[in-house]
């Protein structure tokens, strides 16, 4: 009986090794939790095209929308761990661990990390007639007016929503959170119309409006200033020590995917991120590719776990949860 079991394990190991050695033999599916045409989809298609050239097989983007990206993540968690299903992981996967209390999968345990792709900075912006002239004055204004301030966001679970929570946690004040259905686009429209006071959104949407003078830019949420708006200080510079929030993107595969396949995918990802054309295409919509040492399974795994822990603290302090 023991000999049969050992033989079975040996055959499984041999088959797995052979599959990894020949990988990939057909098209790969890349699952994205947001609609075609948005920033997540754009990043997925840029990196899919680059990795396809390296791997010698097509990578097909599949958009599965709904529930803040959790439907797509659940779908990927159920897939076979054979290297033919990838997931475009994002910031929301780290927050979902605490924010959603009835998920059908484990956002951490159901996946193996492949590597981080890029980060998109966020900017704290205000309506154009908001009194504060800079971030120092804005911090004082928030502390004075507190709940009188209407802080728009793209709905519970969105990056703009968590930016508001993190800012309130850092300042130890409560503002009035105003959620919008359909993402931060409707919130930006109301900011332009003066119906809300503040919004935190990606550089992709905020920088063009700032440059046209239709809104005020106050600070970026990254540790370093961003090239698209170098005049804006960071919140860390403004005294909110260690404040950092970026909308990050990376690749994951279902738990149990053979390590040689994971390493091959990670290598293809790093090759793409070293391509000047890929870097330019990502920069066109405000995404900053990560350095080569961060586009590895080990580095991305460590970063992801740190993000889970960070947001658990923020969410629990705020006492707000999804379903």
**pLDDT for res 182:** 57
Long-range contacts of 127-133 (CB under 8 A, 24+ apart): 127/191, 127/192, 127/194, 127/196, 127/197, 127/198, 127/215, 127/216, 128/194, 128/213, 128/214, 128/215, 128/216, 129/194, 130/197, 130/198, 130/216, 132/216, 132/218
- Provide mean pLDDT across the span 214-227: 94
pLDDT at 270 over 80: yes
- In CATH, which of 3.50.50.60, 3.10.20.90, 3.80.30.20, 3.40.190.150 is domain 27-120+248-318? 3.40.190.150
Q: What was the pLDDT predicted at 19?
A: 57
Whose CA is closest to 122, among 99, 100, 91, 143?
91
Q: What are phi and psi of 214, to 5 degrees?
A: -90, -15
pLDDT per residue as tens digits for the range 6-49 = 554 444 444 455 557 799 999 999 999 887 877 788 899 999 99
Q: pLDDT tens digits, residue range 199-213?
A: 999 888 898 899 999
DSSP state of 29: E
pLDDT value at residue 3 = 56
More confident residue, 154 or 200: 200
| Mean pLDDT calculated for residue range 129-152 | 97
Q: Looking up tokens 């961060």, which residue turns up?
A: 294
- The b/e string for 222-255 (b: 16+ C-beta within 10 A; e otherwise) is beebbebbeebebbbbbebeebbbbbbbbbbbbe
Closest CA to 204 of 175, 246, 162: 246
Element (H, E) at 122: strand 111-127
Q: What is the pLDDT of residue 13?
A: 47
Region 171-178: mean pLDDT is 95
Q: DSSP H helical segments within the chain, as ranges?
A: 2-22, 39-55, 70-77, 91-99, 135-145, 159-171, 184-192, 203-212, 259-273, 276-283, 297-318
Quick one: which H or E segment has residue 121?
A: strand 111-127
* Residue in 74, 31, 33, 278 with CA at minimum distance from that of residue 159: 33
**Which CATH number describes the domain made up of 121-220?**
3.40.190.10
CB atoms within 10 A of CB 63: 18
The contacts of residue 171 (CB under 8 Å, 6+ apart) are 139, 142, 143, 240
The pTM is what?
A: 0.81
Among candidate residues 45, 105, 113, the one with its CA nearest the CA of residue 75:
105
Mean pLDDT of the chain: 90
DSSP letters for 32-92: ESS-TTSHHHHHHHHHHHHHHHHHTS-EEEEE---GGGHHHHHHHHTS-SSSSEEEEEEHH
Phi-psi region of 258 (alpha: psi -120 to 50; beta: other; left: phi over 0): beta
Q: How far apart are CA 294 and CA 273, in angstroms?
A: 11
Q: Are 219 and 56 in contact (CB under 8 A)?
A: no
Q: Where are the domains of the chain?
A: 27-120+248-318, 121-220
Asked whether this chain's domains 27-120+248-318 and 121-220 adopt the same fold, the reply is yes
What does the pLDDT average to over 248-257? Answer: 97
* SS3 call for 186: helix
């Amino acid at each position: 009986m023991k000999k049969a079991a050992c033989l079975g394990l040996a055959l499984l190991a041999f088959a797995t090794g052979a599959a990894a050695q020949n990988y990939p033999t057909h098209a790969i599916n890349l699952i994205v939790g947001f609609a075609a045409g948005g920033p997540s989809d754009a990043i997925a298609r840029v990196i899919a095209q680059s990795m396809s050239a390296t791997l010698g097989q097509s990578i097909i983007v599949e958009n599965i929308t709904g529930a803040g990206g959790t439907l797509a993540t659940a779908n990927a968690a159920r897939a076979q761990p054979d290297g033919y299903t990838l997931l475009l992981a994002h910031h929301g996967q780290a927050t979902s661990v605490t924010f959603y209390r009835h998920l059908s999968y484990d956002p951490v345990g159901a996946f193996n990390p492949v590597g981080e792709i890029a980060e998109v900075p966020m900017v704290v912006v205000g309506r154009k007639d908001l009194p504060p002239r800079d971030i120092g004055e804005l911090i004082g204004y928030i502390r004075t007016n507190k709940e009188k301030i209407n802080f728009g966001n793209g709905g519970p679970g969105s990056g703009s929503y968590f930016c508001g929570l993190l800012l309130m946690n850092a300042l130890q004040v409560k503002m009035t959170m105003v959620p919008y259905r359909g993402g931060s686009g409707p919130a930006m429209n109301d900011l332009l119309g003066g119906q809300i006071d503040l919004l935190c959104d990606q550089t992709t949407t905020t920088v063009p409006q700032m440059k046209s003078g239709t809104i005020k830019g106050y600070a970026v949420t990254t540790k370093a200033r961003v090239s698209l708006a170098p005049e804006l200080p960071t919140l860390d510079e403004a005294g909110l020590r260690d404040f950092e929030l970026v909308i990050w993107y990376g690749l994951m595969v279902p738990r149990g995917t053979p390590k040689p396949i994971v390493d091959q995918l990670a290598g293809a990802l790093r090759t793409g991120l070293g391509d000047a054309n890929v870097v330019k295409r990502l920069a066109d919509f405000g995404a900053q590719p990560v350095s080569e040492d961060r586009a590895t399974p080990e580095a991305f795994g460590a970063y992801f776990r740190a993000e889970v822990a960070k947001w658990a603290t923020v969410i629990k302090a705020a006492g707000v949860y999804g379903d």
